[in-house]
Amino acid sequence: MPREIRYRLGAEIARGGLGRVVEAYDEELKREVAVKLVLDGLPPELQERFVREAEITARLEHPNVVPVHGLVRPEDGSPPLLAMKRIRGRDLATLLGELAKGDPETVRAWSRPRLLRLFQEICLGMAYAHSRGVIHRDLKPSNVMVGDFGETLIVDWGLAKEKGLRPAGDDQRPGTAGVSGTAATLVPDTARTIEGDVIGTPSYMAPEQAEGKVGELDERSDIYALGAVLYEILTLRPPVEGETLDEVIRNVRSGRIERPATRVARTDAGNSAPRSVREPVQPELDAIVMKALALRREDRFQSARELHDEIQLFLEGVK
């Protein structure tokens, strides 16, 4: 059958900066899949980025990276579509939100050690991507899917960059970072991906990314994002917040981050989440987080595998 009608499309299940994801049925292999479609009106250079996302993700064959089944470019010239594994579950942001609200079932199922093991799987997926010369540039809890059957999958590689290549749409210049063309938004929107002088999600982006220094981004920029994810796992809040996007970006650039141990202790009295999910952050774990979130790239962990191994030592009681 023609490739463009191989997939029977269903309801929308997610939406991102480049496309929307819908449920679909693969008529050829008789299986459920997820299909990502280009958003209507997306300019040609961003359609190129959509295709690049498909090509990059397809090359990252790792248990913690979402599997790609195929890229369809219809013969009539209509926008391409990307077929992927259909993940039954929720994203990490939703899971952490349920913990923060004290959802009894989630609290019972997700102890801190289990969350730390999940975090290690994210580290391994990123370590593999880095070994293939790919940086994600938009790693955050909502871009990590937690499957109902134990899967941990990094998704949405639309802003990914391959070493030595300058992706379409990357026209940032050092020193011009900001939110040009974007209205100031309140704290909840700082978890959304923005594009313009800054590419990424403000609450999770590295200082060099917040400065708009696209050419300086490397694996250690993703290490910072991993540190931000770990911070939120421990505190149930992102490491950097503010009343507006501009304020968040200024805070990121300055490296103004409250230590997770201090933040948990400070907010403990007014936190509605059960004590089991707001337990104190041990000094060793606190130090791991702050090293990952260091202002200077040279002061962070130098690889995702190194960060993974530090968490392992902590879980084993070695440190």
| Residue 175 confidence (pLDDT) above 60 | no
Please give the structure tokens belonging to residue 312: 């392992």
pLDDT at 168: 52
Q: What is the pTM of this model?
A: 0.87
Per-residue confidence (pLDDT) for residue 14, from 0 to 100:
87
What pLDDT is stored for residue 164 in this prediction? 67
Q: Which two tokens stand for residue 185?
A: 């938004």
Tell me the mean pLDDT in the region 116-131: 98
Domain 89-315 CATH assignment equals 1.10.510.10: yes
The Cα 146–Cα 87 span in angstroms is: 8
pLDDT attached to residue 187? 38
Average pLDDT for 68-86:
87
Is 89-315 the same fold as 3-85? no
- What tens digit of pLDDT does each residue of 3-27 get? 557 899 999 998 877 789 999 999 9
The 10s digit of each residue's pLDDT in 141-169 is: 999 999 999 999 999 998 999 986 655 55
What average pLDDT score do residues 247-254 get? 93
287: left (phi over 0), alpha (psi -120 to 50) or beta: alpha
Q: State the pLDDT at residue 178.
A: 35
Distance separating alpha carbons of residues 268 and 280, to the nearest angstrom: 9
Residues noted as catalytic: 138
For the chain, percent of residues with pLDDT exceeding 70? 84
Q: The domain 3-85 is classified under which CATH number: 3.30.360.10, 3.30.530.20, 3.40.50.10860, 3.30.200.20?
A: 3.30.200.20
Position 174 scores a pLDDT of 37
Q: At what angle do helices 219-235 and 283-292 cross, to 10 degrees?
A: 140
C-alpha–C-alpha distance, residues 307 and 318, integer Å: 15
Cα–Cα distances in angstroms (integers) from residue 164 to residues 46, 216, 217, in the given order: 19, 11, 11
Higher per-residue pLDDT: 221 or 191: 221
What pLDDT score was predicted for residue 273?
57
User: 236, 234, 165, 249: which is closest to 200 by C-alpha?
Assistant: 249
Domain chopping of the chain, boundaries: 3-85, 89-315
Paired with 175 in beta bridges are none
